[in-house]
Amino acid sequence: LHIGVLVSVLSLITYCLIRDRHRVRDLSGKHIFVTSCDTGLGNSLAKWLDKRGFPVIAACATERGMQDLRSCCSPSLKTVNLNLADPSSIARAVLFVTEETAGKGLFGLVNNAEGTTPVAPTDWLRIEDFHSVLEVGLIELIEITLKLLPLLKKAEGRIVNLINAQGLVALVGGGYSLSKWGMEAFSDILRIEIQHFGVKVSIIEHGFFKIGEMSSDIIERDLLRLWNRLTPEIRDAYGEKYFVE
């Protein structure tokens, strides 16, 4: 029993020593850029990093989101407006990050975006319904990553992609699962390709969170919109009972 306790204590001490060796010590100039910080995971992460002393650049889609973050964080946290559906907004955000890092490079990029609706049976959808989800949840995240790669390589930084694990289970039609699977593949390929430059790529697969108005009410409202635009032939084929259930 005494030997078991001693081994356990030594193992815990060894673990703590190894863990502490990998902690970032000097945080000066180690900027971290986090997308979608208005609410939810991005918002919480920006505050958490700010409290620990990292210089954070938080991207928000709304002026209110930026104001709320600045009001509860230190002066070192900077905010920038970012609309992932607008290429010019992405360009402005990249320029802002470049100027803020002032030649030091970017220590961390956290990609966090949820292009969710519409979610519906596949033959209820049109190609533009897929575009609306894939552009925000996949294409524009890839674009902003590519544009920030030079800064990440300069700082030998890290890319962290937050991906909803439930998006990897393809249960319903639409672009949501496609975007999550796409980000997984993009991350795995990029990790192999840029490890030569000292840049690490991580995936964090998280669960579903009810954030603000993003709830079943929105999904149901969107389903009703799609149902009403279907041709009579498709509605008759599925039936009212199918739609209600």
Tell the burial category of 3 from Cβ atoms under 10 Å away from its Cβ (0-12, 13-18, 19+). Answer: exposed
Question: Which of the residues 15, 176, 238, 242 is marked catalytic?
Answer: 176
**Three-state DSSP state, 43:** helix
**Catalytic annotation present for 242:** no
With contact defined as beta carbons under 8 Å apart, do 185 and 144 qualify?
no
Q: Look-up: residue for tokens 């081994």?
A: 7
> What are the residues whose beta carbons fall under 8 Å from the beta carbon of 236, sequence distance 6 or more?
none
Closest listed residue to residue 92, CA positions, set 104, 101, 83: 83
Reported residue count of the chain is 245
In the chain, alpha helices (H): 2-21, 40-51, 63-72, 87-101, 127-134, 140-155, 176-194, 216-229, 232-238, 240-244
Q: How far apart are CA 41 and CA 33, in angstroms?
A: 14
CA–CA–CA angle 45, 131, 129 (5° rounding) = 105
Q: What is the DSSP string of 125-187?
A: --HHHHHHHHIIIIIHHHHHHHHHHHHHHHHT-EEEEEEEGGGGS--S-SSHHHHHHHHHHHH
Question: Which positions are annotated as active-site residues?
Answer: 176
